Amino acid sequence: MDQRNFTGDYDTLLEIVKTRVSVRNLKPDPIPDDYVAKILEIGRWAMSGANGQPWDFVVVKDPAIKKELFRVYAEENNDFIYWMEQQRDFKLRHPSFQMTHDEALQKQRTSVGWSIAPVLIVVLGDGRRQWATVQGAHTFGRDQSHLTDGLANTAMMMHLAAGALGLGSQHVTIHIQEPFKRVLGVPDLLTFSLIMPIGYPAVPPKEGVRRPLADMVHYDKFDMSKYMTNEQVLQYLYALREKTVPVYSHSYTGRPPAPNGGKG
């Protein structure tokens, strides 16, 4: 490989990184097969522990299979997630579960949701391949990290590739894996990590929310003035939700959430 000077490409990369956002409302219009191949090719080049490449990808285009995956998501996965969120103070709940009063948004989330996306890329993991790395990597509480980190890396690469092609993508985490495995015939031994719906965005992009760099970077030693107390973490989460609920709403409907009157 040539030792290229990539300095000039930084701005392009930054633009791709900053314009990629989660799009939770995609058009059903088909996307070229070539785009899917390009996204997968970028995913193939992700980093992984000792190059174990623990991932497999299932490209789902069959409408009946997409519909069945979404049914399982709504009826089994999200039913569990919804009820767990009820344990929290309303304003601390995950943004998607603070807008349950917004009928249009709920319809978008729960009627067909991401099942209408033209393509779903399902990211699976094979935990055995993480053993490519040193055995010690799996101690000290890191457990499955060389599997999950690898899957996150390949997913991130593919989200960026989708963004660079002018597509929108979403990252749908799967918590209760078994019913999804049955739909796709995935062996029990594998991990059903996430579903990445891909398509043309049906809502305009909106810039994301991030902590300022100065808050997260430490020089030479950990700067204790940046350490949050437990109480500050709680305040941080409340403040974060205030910023991210409108962004989530936008990603579903292209507008801020409807006023809720404190209903949850």
Q: Which residues bind ligand FMN (CB under 6 A)?
A: 21-22, 24, 152, 170-173, 208
Quote the least distance from Cβ 37 to ligand FMN, whole Å.
23
Min CB(170)–ligand FMN separation in Å: 5
Are 251 and 22 in contact by the 8 Å Cβ rule? The answer is: yes
Q: How far is the CB of 247 from ligand FMN (least distance, A)?
A: 6
Q: Which is nearer to ligand FMN, 47 or 134 (CB)?
A: 47
For ligand FMN, the closer CB: 37 or 243: 243
Name which of 126 and 149 has its Cβ closer to ligand FMN: 149
Taking the least distance from each CB to ligand FMN, the nearer of 101 and 171 is 171
Q: Are residues 157 and 53 in contact, defined by beta-carbon separation less than 8 angstroms? A: no
Task: Look up tokens 């989460």; give the residue.
Answer: 237
**Residues 104/258, Cβ–Cβ less than 8 Å:** yes
Q: Based on CB atoms, which residue is closest to ligand FMN, 181 or 250?
A: 250
b (16+ CB within 10 A) / e for 45-66: ebebbeebbbbbbeebeeeeeb
**Is the CB of 35 or the CB of 248 nearer to ligand FMN?**
248
DSSP characters over 103-165: HHHHHIIIIIGGGGSSEEEEEEE-GGGGGGS-GGGG-TT-TTHHHHHHHHHHHHHHHHHHHHT
Shortest distance (Å) from residue 152 CB to ligand FMN: 6
Q: Are 223 and 264 in contact, with CB atoms under 8 Å apart?
A: no
**Shortest spacing between CB 229 and ligand FMN, in angstroms:** 24
Determine the Cα–Cα distance for residues 168 and 160; give it in Å rounded to an integer: 10
CA 231 to CA 237: how far, in whole Å? 10
Q: How far is the CB of 41 from ligand FMN (least distance, A)?
A: 21
